[in-house]
Structure 1
Amino acid sequence: MSALIELRTVGKTFSGGKVALEDVSLALQEDQPRFIAVVGESGSGKTTLARLLLGMIEPTTGTVRYRGEDLAGLSGARRNAFRREVQAVFQDPYEVYNPFYRVDHVLTTPVRKFRLAATRTEGRGLIEAALRSVGLRPEEILGRYPHQLSGGQRQRIMVARALLLRPRLIVADEPVSMVDASLRATILSSLRRLHEEMRISILYITHDLATAYQVADSIIVLYRAAVAEAGHVERVVKAPLHPYTQLLIGSIPLVSTERSWVEDKPAAGRPGGAGCHFADRCPSAMDHCLSAAPSLFQVAPDHAAACFLRADAPALAEGALSSVLG
């Protein structure tokens, strides 16, 4: 059976030669819903990955496939089916709204466009149910303008909008980075509940390793457009194998009255585009790290790291990234 959506050795290079993503393969099956976090610093390729999965941009190399068909070639009914089954929740909820319309507009439009209800009353019922599923009271939300709601409310409306279409995958690109800390847990718990109760796959794009650990089952760590480490979130966070992941975890602030200082090894430098992407920052860089890029080495059934320190493990087969995500 074809995957719901699949990346096959996908790469993306923008004008000017900037490599935003390179050789990523990932398959999401409809009958195996997953909650996957994609983490990394700014510029690592997270949002590019999201935009490729959503069909907003086309890959430079490789293909993105929806139910076995090249996404770039979809048209008509197949394109509409894709748009219904793969939904997005973006970083800034305010940009999605037209300030001249009440928030009802972003909910009634998909109901009408995709003919989700036979009558206006039925459509209203669907909208109210979707709002309640993300912890909002319809009587407090409907009829109001975007500026009359908080950022957390606007973002949860966008989750409800995605839910209206009964998607199989929600790509959430930094969905809580622009809301108050007190609301982050509410929004993320809504996504987690949708995954568990409605069996919707969630791809959670974030720079925040702490929230990724709290809500995701599996994790992909990106660095400079490539996968540095991937696997079950418990293994990757509690026993990271790639030096970059180790530094990420080490940078998470802990509540403590003591201060600790880490002395980094001087950067080795990375010539041109050769070698490991992390070599110029890695405290464990070796000479051959500068001349050859490491494969993803599978150190356990649910854990892989792109680091020569793990070269005693077998290299992960091409296109097998999904196998270590559980």
Structure 2
Amino acid sequence: MMLRLDHVTKVFRIGAFGGRTVTAVSDVSFDVAPGEVVSLIGESGSGKSTLGRMILGLTRATSGTITFDGRPARAGKDYYRDVQGIFQDPFSSFNPVFKADRVFAMIKDSYHPGVPEGEWAERVRAALRDVRLNPDQVLGKFPHQLSGGQLQRLLIARALLLEIRLLVADEITSMLDASTRIDVLNLLAELKTRGLGVLYITHDLSLGNYLAERTVVLREGAVVEMGPTGEVFGDPLHTYTRELLSAVPRLHEDWADAKAVDTCLHHERGGSGGLLEAAPGHFVACARSKTC
């Protein structure tokens, strides 16, 4: 696997003198393969963004390991050549005093200094066309002159120029209107056919179902269910997953009829990472509590 998390935990110290602690992520294990979209789903405060920040090297895990191609994932120029993140608020990713061109000039200076200016300019225009942007309409513009959807696509074009292999997409569509949201999701789906792995972090189950091959459900920092998206959504085994799905508006299907199982069997069987493999590749925590 390209990205692997093994028993990752993050504990923050809080209070005036750090005398108290809060566990934001607890014993999380999963992986992302090349050309695969894995959806990390959970409500606000479930630890999704903390996991994304640890993968990107923006905060360190308290325990457990995060590896990329079998090597420890460490923040740095070499790592960011392969791994990049895009966040919920695209405006915060741009310096308001610089035009969009500056984003691409910084990539050239840091990663491709030997590329001739003319060739680089054509690479930039090609990357913008790949994300369905007209170069003449966005280059030379300040961030405030562009929409949120255009800025998100600029960030994806930036990732394409780096030729990254893994994208951590953290709530990247939550500030976009419905039509732009689908455009960005379709773009990610197209990019995965080129071998790009995507960790798609969202609280929106319908979008996760639309895009991902596998789904990881997070509750209060712990994985309660994970497996092929069709199975997790079509046959939710954990009470929390069922509750999440019951809150999604549906036209012709009643999730309330989905079956439940007594997943506390993992106490006897010793499921991987505290999870029971209820079906091939479909893991679930105890349905009677958060994770047992």
Alpha-carbon deviation of 1:131? 0.8
| 202 and 116 in structure 1: CA distance in 2 versus 1, 3 angstrom threshold | farther
Alpha-carbon deviation of 1:144? 0.9
Q: Which amino acid aligns with 2:283?
A: A
Alpha-carbon deviation of 1:71? 3.1
Secondary structure of the structure 2 residue equivalent to 1:252: coil
Query: Which blocks of at least 5 consecutive residues in structure 2 are unaligned?
Result: 15-20, 257-261
Alpha-carbon deviation of 1:308? 4.8
Alpha-carbon contact 2:166-2:196 (below 8 Å) kept? yes
Alpha-carbon contact 1:5-1:67 (below 8 Å) kept? yes
Alignment equivalent of 2:5, drawn from 7, 26, 34: 7
Secondary structure of the structure 2 residue equivalent to 1:221: strand
Alignment equivalent of 1:49, drawn from 48, 51, 62: 51
Are 2:97 and 1:100 equivalent residues in the alignment? yes
Secondary structure of the structure 2 residue equivalent to 1:136: coil
Superposed CA RMSD in Å reads 2.4
Paired with 2:183 and 2:287, the residues of 1 have a C-alpha distance of: 40
Alpha-carbon contact 1:117-1:123 (below 8 Å) kept? no
Equivalent positions of 1:100-179 (< 5 A) are: 100-115=97-112, 118-179=115-176
Alpha-carbon contact 1:116-1:123 (below 8 Å) kept? no
| 180 and 98 in structure 1: CA distance in 2 versus 1, 3 angstrom threshold | same
How many residue pairs align between the two structures? Answer: 270
Alpha-carbon deviation of 1:8? 2.0
Paired with 1:144 and 1:108, the residues of 2 have a C-alpha distance of: 14
Alpha-carbon deviation of 1:15? 1.2
Secondary structure of the structure 2 residue equivalent to 1:52: helix
Q: Which amino acid aligns with 2:84?
A: Q
Paired with 2:73 and 2:180, the residues of 1 have a C-alpha distance of: 35
Alpha-carbon deviation of 1:5? 2.9
> How does the TM-score come out when normalised to structure 2?
0.86
Alpha-carbon deviation of 1:301? 1.1
Q: Which amino acid aligns with 1:19?
A: T
Alignment equivalent of 2:244, drawn from 248, 272, 286: 248
Equivalent positions of 1:57-68 (< 5 A) are: 57-68=59-70
Counterpart of 1:87 in structure 2 is: 84
Alpha-carbon contact 2:263-2:276 (below 8 Å) kept? no
> How does the TM-score come out when normalised to structure 1?
0.77
Equivalent positions of 1:17-32 (< 5 A) are: 17-29=21-33, 32=34
| 183 and 304 in structure 1: CA distance in 2 versus 1, 3 angstrom threshold | same
Alpha-carbon contact 2:218-2:225 (below 8 Å) kept? yes
Alignment equivalent of 2:277, drawn from 293, 298, 301: 298
Alpha-carbon deviation of 1:255? 5.0
Equivalent positions of 1:306-317 (< 5 A) are: 306-308=285-287
Paired with 2:11 and 2:151, the residues of 1 have a C-alpha distance of: 33
Are 2:201 and 1:205 equivalent residues in the alignment? yes
Q: Deviations over 1:4-45 (max 9, x none)?
A: 33222110011131111011122334xx43110000001111
Are 2:73 and 1:71 equivalent residues in the alignment? yes
Paired with 2:128 and 2:276, the residues of 1 have a C-alpha distance of: 44
**Percent of aligned pairs with the same amino acid:** 39
Secondary structure of the structure 1 residue equivalent to 2:274: coil
Secondary structure of the structure 2 residue equivalent to 1:7: strand
Alpha-carbon deviation of 1:213? 0.4
Question: Which sits farther off after the overlay, 99-108 or 200-209?
Answer: 99-108
Q: Deviations over 1:75-114 (max 9, x none)?
A: xxxx322111001111100011111111111122112210
Q: Deviations over 1:229-252 (max 9, x none)?
A: 000000100110011111111101
Paired with 2:250 and 2:69, the residues of 1 have a C-alpha distance of: 44
Paired with 2:4 and 2:148, the residues of 1 have a C-alpha distance of: 32
Question: Which sits farther off after the overlay, 222-231 or 95-104?
Answer: 95-104
Q: Deviations over 1:215-237 (max 9, x none)?
A: 11110000000001000000100
Alpha-carbon contact 1:108-1:123 (below 8 Å) kept? no
Are 2:242 and 1:238 equivalent residues in the alignment? no
Secondary structure of the structure 2 residue equivalent to 1:111: helix
Are 2:169 and 1:190 equivalent residues in the alignment? no
Secondary structure of the structure 2 residue equivalent to 1:100: coil
Paired with 1:137 and 1:24, the residues of 2 have a C-alpha distance of: 41
Alpha-carbon contact 1:235-1:303 (below 8 Å) kept? yes
